[in-house]
Amino acid sequence: MPYMPDSMPIPNVEDWDTKEFWAHCKKHELVVQRCTDCGTFRHSPQAVCFNCQSWNYEWKKVSGKGVVFSYIICHYPAMAAVKTRVPYNVVLVELEDAGKQRMLGNLIDGTPNEDIHVGMPVEVTWEDIDDTLTLPQWKRSK
């Protein structure tokens, strides 16, 4: 991830394994890799299936719905770039239709940090950072 001292690290959207994932995010589509030999979902994207060692995969569009599997509230900045954001949350979301794969992000819908809990239903929302990067983030589901 490129990093400047007072800026947020950003993912490499041109990385061979993740390029397609980021291209779909830019279109506000959440996709997860799925092995076409054994059907195993995998995230973070990688070249080889951890289950059967196959190199064959597809990008499967998923609903973006899930539940908070775990979370933390950061009270101390991990780096200078986030010092104005504390306290902020980081949620680990278990996707309901992607073989229970999990994705990290932030709950950015204004839900108070003290209301976040394990099992809380959430869905993907999109944070357009710039012309090249869109991040999947999370909002509380009704």
> How does pLDDT run across 92-129, given as a tens digit for each residue?
999 999 999 999 999 999 999 999 999 999 999 999 99
The answer to whether the beta carbons of residues 127 and 25 sit under 8 Å apart is: no
The pLDDT-based confidence of 8 (bands split at 50, 70, 90) is confident
| Beta pairing, strands 57-61 & 31-35 | antiparallel
| Domain ranges across the chain | 19-140
> How does pLDDT run across 71-81, given as a tens digit for each residue?
999 999 888 88
> How does pLDDT run across 15-58, given as a tens digit for each residue?
999 999 999 999 999 999 999 999 999 999 999 999 999 999 99
Q: pTM here?
A: 0.91
